[in-house]
Amino acid sequence: MKRIKIYTLIFVFALISQGRGYAQQELGLHFMPRAVQNLQANPAFMQEKTITISLPSVYLHGLNSGFSYADILRPKPGTDSLMIDVEGAITRMQDVNIIRTQANVDILGVAVKVGPVQVSVFTGTKVSGYFSYPKTLPELAWYGNAGFVDQTLPVAPDFQVSAWHEIGAGLVFRKGKLQIGTRLKYLVGLANVSAGMAEASLTTSPEIYQLQLQVNYEVQTSIFDIGSLENFNPQFEFKPFTGNHGFSGDLGLEYALNDRIKLSASVIDLGFINWTDQAKIYHAEGSLSFEGLDVAEVFEQDSFNINTVLDSLFSDIQTEETAGTFRTSLPTRIYIGGTFAPIKSLRLGGLYYSEFYRGKVFPAFVVSASKDLGKILTAGLTWSVRNRRFDNLGANLLLKLGPIVLFATTDHLSSFLRPTESQQVNLRLGLNVTF
């Protein structure tokens, strides 16, 4: 038993030592009934113990859908050096590529089960970063526009960086084979920078390569001040309490077909934050068209000043900076799954997951198996199809040392074993006390 603990600690240390954690919601958590944090996947999950206290836990997640470290940094043949392979990375990219980071700190939570009812309260802080860019943007930067003559290329990146506190309460009610649960959360927005509208396209005419940039772009900020469109000077002053308020709700159910099979479904983070505190909206709209220098006009003006030319070009793009409120939606997720327990200590599961965010859908499909290795250790594996990759092998491990529950879970073991080839990494570490 002692050796198991030692090697478990080594493994956990190895995971931690990689130090990089980013996340969409991890999928393995859904299959960890002994971790109260699984309420974040389905609020209808009821805990084994009467009282569960979740102590501060960290939840990190990162995604670069465009390319992996190994895609862009390759060994140079015949040398012991690495070369930056931009073309290789671009080749791997999809039409739209996403970089996401997320860091959640679950500060404290308590769940109390009384008979068929479970009540919980919790609080935490979340930081979410999202950046998407069309493949054409790096293509333009790297190859230039000569290869895209007579094409209209989307070039607008979309982004959102948000941080917020959440304080919430949950309720689970069991009636026969059915458990229904909900969680309601009050949100305090700490800061936000996001693109409201993100439309921009560049067209290179086949005639003499005239350039036309169509722009309809909006940047929204709250607390985080970017200065102005003319003088970018970002500043951020952390305030634990702000005037940005929001609400979100989770709703879930679990139905036990029999003693071995359970079906579940949930909707998580259906909500929004109204950003009103130091909120600003920067809007640029118009068309920038550069058709070449009108040398006759320059000739008439006696002198040529490139700044004058540029000013006249950008004069067709109207910019506006206003103080105003805006609303952002949370990344809403749905989980539809089931588990089958052929024996009491073994659970096989399947899950369809989908996240709706920034107008895009991020689906995943997961199968899992977890085994209670005695009363202390529960270990599980997941295999998921996500972001068009099929090599997402995950693992989760839960140690129950008396009232102490220590657990770790990741959906991407390969990101630790083969970090250079991974495009996604996530990790959750948690510590609970159960009675």
Cα three-residue angle 26-179-36, rounded to 5 degrees: 40
Q: Is 78 in the site for other proteins (CB under 8 A)?
A: no
Rounded to the nearest whole angstrom, what is the least distance from the CB of residue 405 to other proteins in the complex?
A: 19
Among 50, 56, 261, 294, indicate the residue that binds other proteins (CB under 8 A).
Answer: 294
Q: Is 343 in the site for other proteins (CB under 8 A)?
A: no
Rounded to the nearest whole angstrom, what is the least distance from the CB of residue 92 to other proteins in the complex?
A: 15
User: 199-238 burial by CB neighbour count: b if 16+ within 10 A, else e?
Assistant: ebbbbbeeeeeeeebbbbbbbbbbbbbbeeeeeeeeeeee
- Enumerate residues 6+ apart whose C-beta is below 8 A from 347: 31, 33, 339, 340, 341, 368, 369, 370, 371, 380
Q: Is 320 in the site for other proteins (CB under 8 A)?
A: no
Q: Is 207 in the site for other proteins (CB under 8 A)?
A: yes
Give the nearer residue to other proteins in terms of CB position, either 144 or 234. 144
Give 349's Cβ-side CA count (13 Å radius): 32
DSSP SS3 for 221 = strand
Give the nearer residue to other proteins in terms of CB position, either 220 or 368. 368
Q: What string marks each residue from 80 to 99 as x (binds other proteins by CB under 8 A) or -?
A: xxxxxxxx------------
Q: Is 146 in the site for other proteins (CB under 8 A)?
A: yes
Rounded to the nearest whole angstrom, what is the least distance from the CB of residue 205 to other proteins in the complex?
A: 8
Say if residues 149 and 211 touch (Cβ distance below 8 Å): no
Q: Is 316 in the site for other proteins (CB under 8 A)?
A: no
Among 45, 217, 224, 416, indicate the residue that binds other proteins (CB under 8 A).
Answer: 416
- Enumerate residues 6+ apart whose C-beta is below 8 A from 7: none
**φ/ψ bin of 388: left (φ > 0), alpha (ψ from -120 to 50), beta (otherwise):** left
Give the nearer residue to other proteins in terms of CB position, either 210 or 315. 210
CA dist 171 and 184 (Å) reads 9
Give the nearer residue to other proteins in terms of CB position, either 377 or 385. 377
CA dist 339 and 209 (Å) reads 59
How many CB atoms neighbour CB 121 within 10 A?
14
Among 7, 327, 346, 403, indicate the residue that binds other proteins (CB under 8 A).
Answer: 7
Give the nearer residue to other proteins in terms of CB position, either 142 or 261. 142
Q: Is 293 in the site for other proteins (CB under 8 A)?
A: yes
CA dist 371 and 368 (Å) reads 10
Q: Is 334 in the site for other proteins (CB under 8 A)?
A: no
In angstroms, the Cα distances linking 347 to 33, 81, 339, 390, 411 are: 10, 47, 6, 22, 17
How many chain residues are in contact with other proteins, going by CB under 8 A? 56
Q: Is 56 in the site for other proteins (CB under 8 A)?
A: no
State the amino acid at position 366 in one-letter form.
V
Q: What string marks each residue from 8 to 27 as x (binds other proteins by CB under 8 A) or -?
A: x-xx-xxx-xx---------
Among 48, 142, 287, 311, indicate the residue that binds other proteins (CB under 8 A).
Answer: 142
Rounded to the nearest whole angstrom, what is the least distance from the CB of residue 292 to other proteins in the complex?
A: 3
Give the nearer residue to other proteins in terms of CB position, either 87 or 320. 87
| Among 79-87, 169-177, 271-279, 328-336, the segment contacting other proteins (CB under 8 A) | 79-87
Q: Which of 433, 384, 370, 408 is nearest to 16 (CA)?
A: 408
Rounded to the nearest whole angstrom, what is the least distance from the CB of residue 122 to other proteins in the complex?
A: 32
CA dist 10 and 136 (Å) reads 43
CA dist 158 and 133 (Å) reads 6
Would you tell me which residues interact with other proteins (CB under 8 A)?
A: 3-4, 7-8, 10-11, 13-15, 17-18, 69, 73, 75-76, 79-87, 141-147, 149, 204-205, 207-211, 290-297, 299-300, 373, 413, 416-420
